[in-house]
Chains A and B, each alone.
Chain A
Amino acid sequence: MVTRGQEGGSAGPTILRVLLGAHLRRLREARGISREDAGWKIRSSESKISRMELGRVSFKERDIADLLTLYGCHDEEERSRLVALAKEANTPGWWHRYGDVTPNWFQAYVGLESAANLIRTYEVQFVPGLLQTREYARAVIMLGHGRAADQEIAHRVELRMSRQQILTRPEPVQLWVVIDETALRRPVGGVEVMRGQIEALIATAKLPNVRLQVIPFDVGGHAAAGGSYSILRFPDPELPDVVYIEQLTSAVYLDKREDVDQYTTAMEVLCVKAEPPERTFDVLDGILSDLHTHS
């Protein structure tokens, strides 16, 4: 039988462990190092590495330092950031607003995203990042960082594109999106870019692991009117769902059960009000033909 933690208990650090574990796994895989060799390096076993990478065990600072060396991570700043993260991950019950702790809040999200097996997203304004085409992503990023150097824009676009690998990897993430029709009608980057984006959505929504529901204009105000957010679920039965809300300069992570319940209820309401997934293709086709008339 599954054992359970206390309701509303100190789940924060477990999420941090997942985050750090997933990051260590990416570093290890990028270097082509086996779990066995990594285990050997920290005087332990393959299964210990496996448990660490799944966020199931706490981290020893010395192990983290040794693994980072093995994985070729020599940048002092990066190393101390990760060791600090490991320390936090071992501290019970501190953590709700991850954005206060590190400016690299978005990297944290990318880590969680790749560790999740189900992501539910509600989007009001834009097509969600995981479903954006390169051109659409560039247009969205230009809105926020229009004065940044070309290179930085390109770097941000690349980051967004590489996040999308979780949709097509072996054992891909299940992505369940509720999107406001407004976001699909707003021609970000112009009609041509939007047409490409809608065509891409039609293709992606056919993936067995992607479900897209549209909330039409004629549905009045809805419960989640606060704005866009995501709920991430992790394969480990012990890990709570995490609500992620992006803000302009930071992000809020909620994993207290009462908070997650409220956001989940709002998400259920949105899903009930939205058109069912099988209607999505008709809606997208309609938008596409409207875009053709307007061009």
Chain B
Amino acid sequence: MSSVDLKTDVPHSARVYDYLLGGKDNFAADREAAAKITAVWPNLPTSMRANRNFMTRVAHYLAARQGIRQFLDIGTGLPTSPNLHEVVQAVAPESRVVYVDNDPIVLVHARALLTSSPEGRTTYIDASLRDPDSIIKAPQLAQTLDLSQPVAVCLLAIMHYVVDEQEAHDIIDRLMGPMPSGSALALSTATADSNPEEVGRGIAMYNARGITSKVRTKAEVTALFDGLGLVSPGVPLVHQWHPDDEALSIEDSQVSMYGGVAIKP
């Protein structure tokens, strides 16, 4: 086997995210980048936590209210409690979750620590969102998910790394294409609408650190759900989507993510 260079000396989005959520799976380059970014974007950690809590509420909604038992989570990131499979397996232990990421460190952590309930199943695919066919055609997907039954495709805090609008639409079409009626798309992505100056500076800093990313308007985010039926309340800032008490305590200007859930007709 050839030598492995994990490039821990270069900031990585998953580890910066981990650091900003209070995790310990990060390295000096990640912490330094995070410090530079939060210096100009002080609300980012609050926004990321709001996004993480959005994931929890969405996953619970999909399992409990939509009865979905199969999940395809792309851009898994480093484990942070509660993880998606924990949320949905708490509702239905037999739930199956396929985690997808292309970062080797994220993948080893996912394989070791994102472990299923005995009734359900978790599997892991080493693939990039930028190559959706490699996800859809992965043998682990066919072994884990029954594509005659609804699947929830989760693209949470990842689409802002796809900066080309046409490519973003193509990716979602490719992923949702093989999914049967009743499947869901859960998506959240960055916006500057709620705090243009601060977020603008922050995104510029992300790009300067080599993590290419973009913000979208509400109309652009809504368009990502084209052809699918958005559930109420549509595409609000993530803390306004079926808020709990914690979400209600957050100001709009602190949150720079839109999110929503849509069902395939």
* B111, A277: Cβ atoms closer than 8 Å: yes
User: Is A243 among interface residues, defined by CB-CB distance under 8 A?
Assistant: no
- Which 4 A-B pairs rank lowest in CB-CB distance, beginning with the nearest? A2-B22, A271-B108, A211-B112, A265-B8
* A211, B6: Cβ atoms closer than 8 Å: no
Binds A, one of B23-31, B165-173, B178-186, B241-249: B23-31
In whole angstroms, what is the CA distance A143 to B106 when docked? Answer: 39
Interface size on A, residues (CB 8 A): 29
Residue of A240, A269, A278 with most chain B CB atoms under a 10 A cut-off:
A269
* A7, B31: Cβ atoms closer than 8 Å: yes
* B112, A1: Cβ atoms closer than 8 Å: no
* B112, A277: Cβ atoms closer than 8 Å: yes
* A272, B28: Cβ atoms closer than 8 Å: no
User: Is B82 among interface residues, defined by CB-CB distance under 8 A?
Assistant: no
Given contacts A211-B112, A211-B113, A261-B8, 6 further A-B pairs with CB under 8 A are: A218-B1, A264-B27, A265-B8, A268-B6, A271-B108, A276-B108
User: Is B227 among interface residues, defined by CB-CB distance under 8 A?
Assistant: no
Chain B residue nearest to A207 in the complex (CB): B115
* A273, B115: Cβ atoms closer than 8 Å: no
Partner pick for A241 among B24, B46, B113, CB 8 A cutoff:
B24
User: Is B45 among interface residues, defined by CB-CB distance under 8 A?
Assistant: yes
Contacts of B45 in A (CB 8 A): 1
A-contact 0/1 string along B89-132, CB 8 Å cutoff = 00000000000000011001001110100100000000000000
User: Is B142 among interface residues, defined by CB-CB distance under 8 A?
Assistant: no
Contacts of B4 in A (CB 8 A): 223, 269, 272-273
Chain B residue nearest to A3 in the complex (CB): B22
* B111, A278: Cβ atoms closer than 8 Å: yes
Partner pick for A276 among B1, B6, B8, B111, CB 8 A cutoff:
B111
* B115, A211: Cβ atoms closer than 8 Å: yes
- The residues of B with any CB-CB pair to A shorter than 8 Å are 1, 4, 6, 8, 22, 24, 27-28, 31, 45-46, 104-105, 108, 111-113, 115, 118
Contacts of A257 in B (CB 8 A): 28
Contacts of B105 in A (CB 8 A): 268, 272
In whole angstroms, what is the CA distance A264 to B109 when docked? Answer: 12
B91 to chain A, nearest CB (A): 18
Q: Given that A233-B24, A240-B24, A268-B6 are contacting pairs, would A208 and B111 also be in contact in the complex, using a CB cutoff of 8 Å? A: no
Q: Given that A7-B31, A269-B6 are contacting pairs, would A176 and B115 also be in contact in the complex, using a CB cutoff of 8 Å? A: no
Contacts of A264 in B (CB 8 A): 27
B210 to chain A, nearest CB (A): 19
Partner pick for B112 among A176, A223, A240, CB 8 A cutoff:
A176
User: Is A174 among interface residues, defined by CB-CB distance under 8 A?
Assistant: yes
Contacts of B104 in A (CB 8 A): 268, 272
Chain B residue nearest to A208 in the complex (CB): B115
User: Is A213 among interface residues, defined by CB-CB distance under 8 A?
Assistant: yes
Contacts of A37 in B (CB 8 A): none
B119 to chain A, nearest CB (A): 12
Q: Given that A268-B105, A276-B111, A277-B111 are contacting pairs, would A258 and B6 also be in contact in the complex, using a CB cutoff of 8 Å? A: no
* A237, B111: Cβ atoms closer than 8 Å: no
B17 to chain A, nearest CB (A): 14
In whole angstroms, what is the CA distance A257 to B27 when docked? Answer: 9
Q: Given that A7-B31, A264-B27, A268-B108 are contacting pairs, would A176 and B6 also be in contact in the complex, using a CB cutoff of 8 Å? A: no
Contacts of B108 in A (CB 8 A): 268, 271-272, 276
Q: Given that A213-B112, A220-B1, A276-B111 are contacting pairs, would A265 and B24 also be in contact in the complex, using a CB cutoff of 8 Å? A: no
* Between-chain CB contacts (< 8 Å), 8 pairs: A2-B22, A7-B31, A220-B1, A268-B6, A269-B4, A271-B108, A273-B4, A277-B111
User: Is A148 among interface residues, defined by CB-CB distance under 8 A?
Assistant: no
Q: Given that A2-B22, A233-B24 are contacting pairs, would A265 and B112 also be in contact in the complex, using a CB cutoff of 8 Å? A: no
In whole angstroms, what is the CA distance A213 to B112 when docked? Answer: 9
* A258, B28: Cβ atoms closer than 8 Å: yes
Chain B residue nearest to A271 in the complex (CB): B108
In whole angstroms, what is the CA distance A258 to B9 when docked? Answer: 12
* A273, B1: Cβ atoms closer than 8 Å: yes
